[in-house]
């Protein structure tokens, strides 16, 4: 079920109404939200509801056992089994075809005839997200950072529909305590929830979908037909598209959760204002970057052990982070670019004196370099293959000519989407405050006009969110 659809609008109105009616009865409320979340997930394909339920039971059982055992070999064994179950399921559904085809290509390259079975496995939507949430829960229980929750609480946490299929990756200690508190409808910031939903719809339907249909998809589909300026515009366009698409989804998810009485962590913080790649990852997909830091980078040793080990840990973390996004070498290469640059930044900052002077020109230069490293990596993230990414880069450097499909409106949209990130945060807060002070009827009128404008400005059809495929 996609957010910007009539189906979801009807579903959410029913769930929102029933949720607040049942809120005083916590047991019935949790059961209702659990069923509603499973309906939301099963709308795509009911066959995989069992996968979500199985993940819930396995991880709840593991956390319960870990909560009862004392430190020792048995606890490590239980943790290992839980991690193997989670990662094994993810590997089977997401990476089986990738590893088999890669092995077959390697064997063929050696002059042998491969006979490896290649099965057509459907990727369950959202499996990467709820698997990571399950892992964080089990590991937090193992570390003693969180106590095992009752089955119904954990089941609601893992399946809660606003963040189920594309995040943000919410930690158990952030959401489960909220499930136990009685919510007061009078304390809900409904105006902010509707503001976020309307803003997220604009980002997705107008900004992301327009750039995708009119520029990004045609150029990436056949770069050989396009000139260098068109390639460059498409790269910038994709940088804006993926931000508007994913942050738009996140805004809608946070807004829906807020209307239901729950607060999710922020997932984006004007990432294209970053002045280093480390700063970029503090601002982009924050819940994933902190997950990778806390459960992978730290487990590998983090920054302990000298510069070489730190560089190795950064590279491994980002390579695996790239592979998490998709079963293709393009994602691995994307992660490799980020990992290598992060390691280089760390090495250079270690050599630079702490009291070295800075200037406005230097800061602008750092922003310029960071933004274009990110855009370079986006080419591999978006391309269908490494060969296609290479073709994009070749055409970017050699195919100078007219930019026939790059209209002034598209250039203005790309420039405005990047420039608006540099607007002081207080401006948006003041606009939202003005909207919040309106009476319900004027608020409704503003929202109705916004939805009408979004529908009129956006292209026809409903495009899935980019991160649904991960």
Q: Could you give the residue numbers annotated as active site?
A: 325
Q: Which residues fall within 8 angstroms of residue 150, CB to CB, at 6 or more apart?
A: none
Distance CA 17, CA 28 (A): 14
The DSSP string of 39-72 is: HHHHTT-GGGHHHHHHHHHHHHHHHHHHHHSPSS
Percentages of the chain per state (helix, strand, coil), in multiples of 5: 75, 0, 25
- Please name which of 152, 229, 239 lies closest in space to residue 466, comparing C-alpha atoms: 239
For the chain, counts of helices (H) and of strands (E): 22, 0
Burial-class residue 304 by CB neighbours within 10 Å (0-12, 13-18, 19+).
exposed
Distance CA 130, CA 364 (A): 39
Side-chain half-sphere CA neighbours of 160 within 13 A: 34
Specify the residue for token string 């199985």. Answer: 54
Structure tokens at 42: 């099963």
Q: Are 334 and 377 in contact (CB under 8 A)?
A: yes
């Amino acid at each position: 079920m996609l957010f910007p659809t009539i189906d979801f609008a009807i579903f959410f109105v029913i769930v929102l109404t029933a949720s607040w009616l049942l809120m005083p009865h916590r047991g019935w409320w949790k059961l209702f939200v659990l069923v509603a979340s499973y309906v939301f997930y099963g709308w795509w394909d009911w066959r995989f509801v069992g996968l979500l339920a199985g993940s819930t039971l396995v991880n709840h059982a593991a956390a319960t056992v870990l909560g009862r055992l004392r430190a020792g070999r048995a606890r490590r064994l239980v943790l290992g089994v839980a991690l193997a179950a989670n990662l094994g399921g993810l590997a089977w559904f997401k990476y089986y075809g990738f590893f088999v085809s890669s092995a077959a290509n390697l064997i063929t390259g050696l002059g042998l005839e491969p006979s490896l079975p290649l099965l057509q496995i459907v990727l369950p939507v959202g499996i990467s997200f709820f698997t990571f949430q399950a892992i964080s829960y089990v590991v937090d229980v193992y570390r003693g950072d969180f106590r095992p929750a009752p089955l119904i609480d954990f089941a609601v946490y893992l399946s809660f529909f606003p963040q189920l299929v594309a995040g943000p990756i919410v930690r158990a200690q952030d959401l489960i305590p909220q499930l136990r508190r009685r919510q007061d409808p009078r304390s809900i910031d409904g105006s902010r929830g509707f503001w976020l939903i309307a803003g997220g719809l604009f980002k997705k339907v107008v900004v992301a979908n327009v750039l995708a249909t009119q520029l990004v998809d045609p150029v990436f589909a056949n770069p050989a037909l396009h000139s260098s300026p068109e390639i460059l515009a498409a790269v910038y366009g994709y940088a804006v598209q993926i931000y508007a698409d994913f942050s738009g989804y996140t805004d809608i998810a946070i807004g829906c959760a807020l209307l239901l009485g729950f607060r999710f962590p922020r997932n984006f913080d004007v990432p294209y204002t970053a002045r280093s790649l480390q700063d970029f990852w503090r601002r982009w997909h924050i819940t994933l970057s902190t997950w990778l830091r806390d459960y992978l980078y730290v487990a590998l040793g983090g920054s302990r052990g000298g510069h070489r080990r730190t560089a190795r840990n950064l590279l491994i973390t980002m390579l695996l982070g790239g592979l998490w996004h998709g079963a293709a070498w393009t994602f691995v290469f994307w992660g490799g670019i980020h990992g290598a640059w992060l390691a280089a930044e760390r090495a250079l900052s270690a050599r630079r004196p702490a009291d070295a002077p800075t200037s406005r020109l230097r800061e602008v230069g750092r922003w310029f370099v960071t933004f274009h490293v990110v855009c370079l990596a986006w080419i591999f993230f978006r391309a269908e293959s490494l060969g296609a990414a290479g073709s994009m880069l070749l055409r970017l450097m050699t195919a100078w000519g007219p930019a026939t499909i790059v209209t002034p409106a598209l250039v203005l949209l790309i420039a405005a989407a990047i420039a608006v990130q540099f607007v002081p945060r207080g401006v948006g807060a003041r606009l939202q405050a003005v909207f919040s002070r309106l009476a319900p009827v004027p608020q409704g009128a503003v929202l109705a006009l916004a939805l009408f404008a979004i529908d009129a400005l956006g292209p026809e059809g409903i495009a899935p969110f980019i991160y649904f495929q991960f």
